[in-house]
Amino acid sequence: PTLSYAMFSDHEMVRQAATEAMCNMIPHPEMMEYLKKTENLRVWVAFSLDYEENFACARASLGCLAMAVPEPDFAKALIQCKNFRELIRTLMECGQLELMHRVLVLIVGLVEHGGECRESVVAAGVGPFCEGYIQNYHDEKKTMKDFSFSPAERGSLSATLSLAKEVVQLLR
């Protein structure tokens, strides 16, 4: 789509708006076909990994991937992406709760597909990470005291803990 060119604008807000607008086209068939193409998928993965430089675009692109993962052909294309493990590991470990929430939603979707999607998640080391995350942060009241979380971050902590527990259950 022509809108994808705006994702590379020099203006940060234009990049963000374009990424969010394209994300809103999920699950339109043309958008799903666009995302399944290796060269396009690599761009979305790269945008998702660029959270330190462009958090808003990373959040939007990762949200797009998470919303697209229920579609089986997209899920298969994603796990075959060269940077799949990096995407999963980096964003699970990034400490940004909004991104962790989105990547955990993506992981749940992949595990629910079973087969090679589930195997790719296991190979990325998701199970041990989620177990460790739960073990370290299961006491939400203590965690809230230890960190200065905003109200939105408090909700994200609860969501990420719930999703991590779901992942652990699904992987058993």
CB atoms within 10 A of CB 11: 10
Write the pLDDT tens digit of every residue in 18-52: 889 999 999 999 999 999 999 999 999 999 999 99
Per-residue exposure over 122-157, b if at least 16 CB sit within 10 Å of its own CB, e if not: eebebbebbeebbeebeeeeeeeeeeebeeeeeebb
Contact 21, 61 (CB under 8 A): no
Q: Say whether pLDDT at 1 is over 60.
A: no
CA distance 143 to 101: 17
- Average of per-residue pLDDT values in the chain: 92
Q: Say whether pLDDT at 69 is over 80.
A: yes
Q: Please state the pTM of the whole predicted model.
A: 0.92
Percent of the chain with pLDDT over 90: 77
